[in-house]
Structure 1
Amino acid sequence: MLKIGITGGIGVGKTVVCRMFELLGIPVYDSDARAKWVMKNKEALRLELQAAFGKEAYNDDGELNRSHVAGIVFNNPERLAILNNLVHPHVATDFALWAAMHSDKPYVLKEAALMYESGAWKQMDQMIAVYAPLEVRMKRLLLRDKHRTETDIKAIIDKQLQEEEKISRADHVIYNDDQQLLIPQVIKLHEQFLDQVK
C-alpha cells in the first residue's frame, strides 16, 4: 500500500481534491481533524500540553482551549515549535494506526497543510502539492471565511511554507487555478498510483 501525502497552503483547495479521491474509493486522513481528536483524547498529550501552556490549555469539559493556546503561539515561533513538537509525534502515531486499518486499499492519502514543516512527509511514499495562485486563494478565502480580513489571511499565508517550495519538493502537482480542470488531473494520478501497486 502506498502512502501519499497531499499538501498546499490555505485556500488552494486541498479539501475539494481530497473529496474527489474519496469518491474514487481512496481513504483520506484529515490531519487537522485528527490532531484535534488526539489533543482531546490522548491523556499523555493533554498532560504535556498543560505542562507547556498551563492548566488553562484545556477547558473544564476536556476540550482544548484553542483561544488560550493560539494567543500564546500565534506570534511566538519558539512556543509554536513547542506545540508542534508535542502534537506532531502523536498525530504520526495515529496516522500509522489508521493506515494499518486500510491496508486492503491500494493507497491512502494523508492531507496536511504543514506536511513539510512537521516532517510528516518523511512517512510518505510520494507527495502531491495542490497549487492555486495567491489572488485566486485570496478571493476564495474572503468568500469562505467571512470572519477573516485580507490582513488576517495574508498573516496566515506568510507563516506557511512558500508554494514554490512545496511544488519543488512534491512528486506531483495538481493545479486548482480555475484554468485547468481538476477531475482529469485527479483521475490521472489515481491511475498512476494503481499502476504502481499492481
Structure 2
Amino acid sequence: MIIVGLTGGIGSGKTIVANFFKALDIPIYIADDEAKRLMAKSKVIKRKLTALFGEDAYIDDALNKPLLASKIFNDKAYLKKMNAIIHPKVASHFKRWVEKQESLYVIKEAAIIFEHNKEANYDFIITVIANMDVRISRVIKRDHSSKSKIETIIKNQMSDEEKIKKSHFVITNDNLADTENQVIKIHQSILKHIKKLKN
C-alpha cells in the first residue's frame, strides 16, 4: 500500500485538499481527529495525561483543553511529553486502519510530518500552502482566534519554504477550482507511479 502524507501550516486548507482526494475515492486518515478521539476514549492515555498534567487534565470525563493548551504553550517540554504519549497510539491505530483499506493508495493528513522527522513513513508527501492573509482569515473564521495569536502560531511552525524543499508535491490552495485541478494532477501522477511499480 502506498502511503501519502498530506501536510501544511495552520490555515493552509489541508481539509479542503483532503476532501478533494476523498471525492476521488481515496481513503483519508486525519491524524489530529484520531488523536482527539483517543485522548477522549483511551483509558491508558487518560491515565498518562492525568499523571502528566494533574487531576484537572479531565473535567467531568472531558479533556480540559484550555489547561493543556496553556501548559503546552508556556512549556515545550509538556508538548514533547504529551506527543510521546499520543503519537505511538495514533501510529498503531493508523497501521490497523491501512490494513483494512482496499484502494491503491491512502492519505494520512498530519500537521507535523517534517517537524518530527517522519518523512520515512511516507512514499510521497504533499504540502499545502496558501497566501498568508488567506490563512489568517481562515483560522479567524474557524477558531475565532485573534490575528496576533495566529501569527505567533505560524511563526512557531516550520516555514513553507522548508516544507516545500522536502515535499514531492506542493498544492497552492488560494482558489478552489485551481486546487481541485492540482489534486487531480497529483492523483494521476501517483497512479502512474503505482502502475510502474506493478509492471
TM-score, normalised with respect to structure 2: 0.91
Map 1:56-95 → 2, pairs under 5 A:
56-61=56-61, 63-95=62-94
Closer, same or farther: CA 91–179 of 1 in aligned 2, 3 Å: closer
2:175 matched to 1:178? yes
Closer, same or farther: CA 163–174 of 1 in aligned 2, 3 Å: same
Cα RMSD, aligned residues only: 1.7
Residue 26 of structure 1: SS of its match in structure 2? coil
**Corresponding letter in the other structure for 1:108:** V
Pairwise CA distance, 1:129: 0.2
Matched-pair contact (CA < 8 Å) for 1:92–1:120: no
Pairwise CA distance, 1:130: 0.5
**Corresponding letter in the other structure for 1:14:** K
Number of aligned residues:
195
Equivalent residue for 1:52?
52
Deviates more, 1:30-39 or 1:170-179: 170-179
Matched-pair contact (CA < 8 Å) for 1:4–1:110: yes
> Which ranges in structure 2 are unaligned for 5 or more consecutive residues?
none
**Aligned mates of 2:176, 2:17 — CA distance in 1:** 15
Matched-pair contact (CA < 8 Å) for 1:84–1:118: no
User: CA offsets per residue over residues 106-129 of structure 1, 9 Å max, x none?
Assistant: 000001111222344332111000
Residue 63 of structure 2: SS of its match in structure 1? coil
Percent identity, aligned pairs only?
A: 39
Map 1:132-147 → 2, pairs under 5 A:
132-145=130-143, 147=144
Equivalent residue for 1:166?
163
**Corresponding letter in the other structure for 1:142:** I
> Which ranges in structure 1 are unaligned for 5 or more consecutive residues?
none
**Aligned mates of 1:179, 1:71 — CA distance in 2:** 35
Equivalent residue for 2:153?
156
Deviates more, 1:185-194 or 1:43-52: 43-52
**Aligned mates of 1:144, 1:41 — CA distance in 2:** 25
